């Protein structure tokens, strides 16, 4: 008789490293997320993908300081009904990005890279889920492909000047005068300490904030040259504010189904920014949660059912 393999013996015993077999069998029901790279010119984009390509596609665009990792719970929840792609933007996460002198780190260029990624993947229509920096990338994609965007979900992704909260004060000074002095005044922005603050500020119960997200991004921003790239993007955010009227004109003309799920204590994007959508999209659905900038880190159990309900009603 053949001897059992070690895994088979462990399964027969009902225990693997102290974990009951019943627990292992539950893992079989988890979505089969695929982790891949796509070379787009000189950027090697890392992305997470799940679901059938025959299902409606949802493109997820993270913000600062985050990566596709921020969407992990949403990806799992939507995996059975949708084709979900969450990518890491250039200069974020696991995407292999060029040096500062070899790539133009502007929001226009980030959007161009993502647009080429979409084309290479053969995606002809998609909903967008956006957060923070991912929002102006998403809005630019919508301007390029207005007929392709099927719906919009915004988790603290802004498109209105009234949504710019007090946290933008020193950054606006940098926009008005991008001197070395004003740039140096923001040197603590791309640091692990500042990133952690963004994750916990405005959160009533800090025990709900996992350290995984801010630790991962803190390590990433500490890489050589990354701080300067992030300060370049921070300066270029001014271009997004200048384009707000164009984004708003798109909302008015095309009336995309829109859901805003908003951490109301966000130090950067205030609730007024979410409420402003009602001017341009009267049927926009706006929901506020008692948390900060990264609402999905603390209120995923409340937000995900809202997202699923919205998509079920608006994506066919």
Fold held by 34-314: Rossmann fold (3.40.50)
302 exposure class (CB count in 10 Å sphere: 0-12, 13-18, 19+): middle
Q: What is each CA distance from 300 to 81, 227, 297, in whole angstroms?
A: 18, 30, 6
pLDDT tens-digit map of 235-294: 999 999 999 999 999 999 999 999 999 999 999 999 999 999 999 999 999 999 999 999
pLDDT tens-digit map of 120-137: 999 999 999 999 999 999
Q: How far apart are CA 256 and CA 315, in angstroms?
A: 11
Q: Is the pLDDT of residue 74 over 50?
A: yes
The residue-averaged pLDDT of 102-116 equals 98
- Which residues does residue 49 pair with via DSSP β-bridges, in sequence order? 34, 85
Residue ranges per structural domain of the chain: 1-30, 34-314
Residue 176, number of CB atoms within 10 A of its CB: 10
191 preceded by a cis bond (ω within 30 of 0)? no
pLDDT tens-digit map of 52-65: 999 999 999 999 99
Active-site hit among 131, 220, 293, 299: 293
User: Active-site residue 220, yes or no?
Assistant: no
At residue 125, the 3 state secondary structure works out as coil
- Identify the H or E element spanning 149: strand 149-154
Sign, Cα dihedral of 172, 291, 94, 124: negative
82 preceded by a cis bond (ω within 30 of 0)? no
pTM flag (> 0.85): yes
At residue 51, the 3 state secondary structure works out as coil
């Amino acid at each position: 008789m053949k001897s059992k393999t070690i895994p088979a013996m462990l399964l027969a015993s009902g225990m693997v490293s102290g974990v009951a077999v019943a627990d292992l069998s539950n893992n079989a029901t988890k979505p089969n997320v695929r982790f891949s790279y796509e070379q787009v010119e000189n950027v090697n984009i890392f992305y997470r993908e799940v679901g059938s390509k025959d299902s409606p596609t949802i493109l997820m665009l993270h913000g600062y300081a985050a990566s596709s990792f921020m969407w992990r719970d949403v990806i799992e929840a939507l995996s059975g009904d949708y084709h979900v792609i969450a990518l890491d933007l250039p200069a974020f996460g696991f995407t292999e990005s060029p040096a500062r002198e070899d790539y133009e780190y502007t929001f226009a260029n980030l959007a161009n890279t993502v647009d080429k990624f979409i084309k290479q993947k053969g995606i002809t229509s998609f909903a967008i889920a956006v957060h923070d920096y991912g929002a102006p990338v998403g809005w630019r994609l919508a301007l390029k492909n207005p007929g392709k965007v099927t719906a919009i979900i915004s988790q603290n992704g802004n498109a209105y000047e009234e949504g710019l909260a007090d946290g933008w004060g020193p950054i606006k000074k940098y926009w008005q005068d991008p001197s070395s002095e004003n740039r140096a005044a923001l040197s603590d922005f791309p640091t692990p300490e500042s990133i952690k603050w963004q994750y916990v500020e405005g959160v009533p119960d800090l025990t709900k904030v996992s350290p995984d997200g801010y630790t991962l991004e803190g390590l990433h921003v500490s890489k050589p040259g990354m701080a300067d790239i992030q300060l370049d993007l921070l300066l270029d955010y001014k271009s997004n504010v200048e384009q707000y009227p164009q984004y708003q004109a798109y909302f008015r003309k095309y009336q995309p189904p829109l859901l805003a799920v908003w951490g109301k204590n966000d130090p950067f994007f205030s609730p007024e920014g979410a409420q402003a959508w009602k001017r341009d999209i009267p049927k926009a659905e706006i929901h506020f949660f008692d948390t900060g900038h990264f609402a999905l880190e603390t209120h995923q159990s409340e937000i995900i059912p809202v997202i699923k309900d919205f998509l079920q009603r608006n994506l066919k």
